[in-house]
Structures are given as C-alpha cells and as structure tokens.
Structure 1
Amino acid sequence: MAVSKRIPVEISREGHSTHGELAWSDEFLLGYPAMDDTHRDFVCCVVALRDASETEFFGRLQDMVTHCEQHFDQEAQWMRTTEFPAAQCHMDEHEAVLRSLRAALQFIAKGGAHSRVASVALALADWFPGHATYMDAALSHWISKRTFGGIPVVLRRQLPSISPGSARSEEGG
C-alpha cells in the first residue's frame, strides 16, 4: 500500500507557497469587478473548506463544487462572448479542478475517510494564486480591452497579510 505524504501549503499575499493559509488580499484584484467578486467568494469557500470539521467537510465540499461550477461557467461565458483566444486551455484547467473536486465528493459520499481528501482545500489554495495571476488576469485584460479599449488600472493597498483568526495588537501589528 502506497502512503501519500501530505505537504502543508500556505499562500502568502504574494501568491507563494508558505505553509497552509489562503486569505483574500488586494494582490488578487484583476480589475474586472465581477471577476474580482467571484474570486473573493472562491477564497472564502476554500477557507471554509480548509477549516471545516470532519462533520462539516462534506457539506463544505458540496458548496465548493457548486461555487466552482458557477464560477467556471461564468468565466466560460465571458470567454465565448469575447472570443478569448486561450479559452480552451483555460476551460481545460477549470475542468481538471472540477474533476478532482467531484472525485473527492464521490469518495466521501461512498463512505471514504475525510482525512484522505481533506488536502483538496490545500491543493486549491496552492492552485488559485497562479491561475488568477496568469490565466484570469489575461482574461480580465482581454475583456477590458474588448469592452473599454484598454487594460484595467488596478490600485492595490499595501496591507499586512493577516491570516483568518489571527489577532492584531493594539499597535496594528
């Protein structure tokens, strides 16, 4: 029997793996408000899945699948209506994510141990920053160019990265 090693993944605000956290920050803003709102919701779903107890996990995983289906369908619609050149590659990546999520959901539905698929949340946290930075940023720019004649200007606040549940001191640190 093969034993898989679990490697904890944390995503910092710059999008680099650093051991287990994913939190929304302005670094993820792409300048297309509907996409930015959907991405904010995605991050919330990933955090909810990652932080779910064993009894909550199946429901949170169902929520994640539903969110991703709607999220990816919306992006596919944008790609079709704007004739985005890299649409197939982008949609193929979305389909791979959905296949993995659905497989995890099916595994648990058939009585599989939550602990065997709990790392799916960490995999999503590891995948999202790169996907957003490259594929979704390209789509955001494409939509903006087609709609407004230029790429969006995005102003990002330089806020300290704060993990969910961590306390700030009175000095703001």
Structure 2
Amino acid sequence: MKRTLILLLSLTCNLCLWAQKQQDFAARFMQIHGKEITMECTTISPLMMERMLQLPSLETDGVNRDALKQVKTIRLVINKDKQETEHAFEQAVKLAAQNAARYVLRAENTTRRIYTRRRGENIVEIVLLTKQNGGFILVDLTGNMTDAFIHNLIRQ
C-alpha cells in the first residue's frame, strides 16, 4: 500500500513537471525567431487578469466579464517592421503547421489565422496571427475557454 502511494505521488509530480515545461505558442515563437525578427513580447499575467476582473466597468458588463474569466494569460508579440511582417507571419504559420497535432486551424483569410489547442472538451489556448497596418501581431490566449468564446472571437 505504501509503495503504491509513493508510486502514485511520484507519477503525479512528474506529470506536473512535464506540464510546466510545455510552452505556449508565443513563447515558442519568441524562442525560435526572437533573434532573427524584431519583436516585442508583452504578457498579461493571471494576477493582472484578476485585477482586470475587479474593475468597476466590468462589474456591470456580464458578457465581457464572463469572457475574461475564461482567460488565464494573454501574450502579445508585436513586430512593427514592415520589411519583416510577411516573414514573421509566414514563420508563425509554419510553426503552427509543424505542430498540427497540437494546433488546429479554426479560421483564416489572407491577413489573419486563428488556431486552437484543446485538452479534452476545453480550449486551453487560442492563437491569433495577423498582419495589419504594416506589422505582425501574435495574440496568444491561455485558459479554459468554451466554444462560444472562440465563435465570438471569429465573428469579430
């Protein structure tokens, strides 16, 4: 009994460590292309998300409040160099294609792509790639999001 308990505890610890090593799309993109493409990465942490939910304007706005509750972290990767925009967009699309088992394309047009990553029934990551106004923007949302959340995002 004692051995079984120790084995289960050990497996749980290893699983937790493995899960913590998993990078989100934005972190992986920055790691691979951060030296060749001029980019800025901004992270809105879980603590900041909690503080945003406490804003008085969100207390009366139930729809946006419910949407924000589903998001744990937001990462914004921005490239403003017009000469690098196309290359940055292509490299991000290529990275998603290389991880097709992990990221599923949900919507696309010539300037925008939306990918999702699921764990079971929940969407745990949404990646928006866009090139606009001569720049490249990668928005990476992590959390436990619903299909309704992604449908609203695609409509906008």
TM normalised by structure 2 equals 0.24
Report the structure, 1 or 2, having the larger strand content: 2
Report the structure, 1 or 2, having the larger helix content: 1
TM normalised by structure 1 equals 0.23
Higher relative contact order (CA 8 A, sep 6+): 1
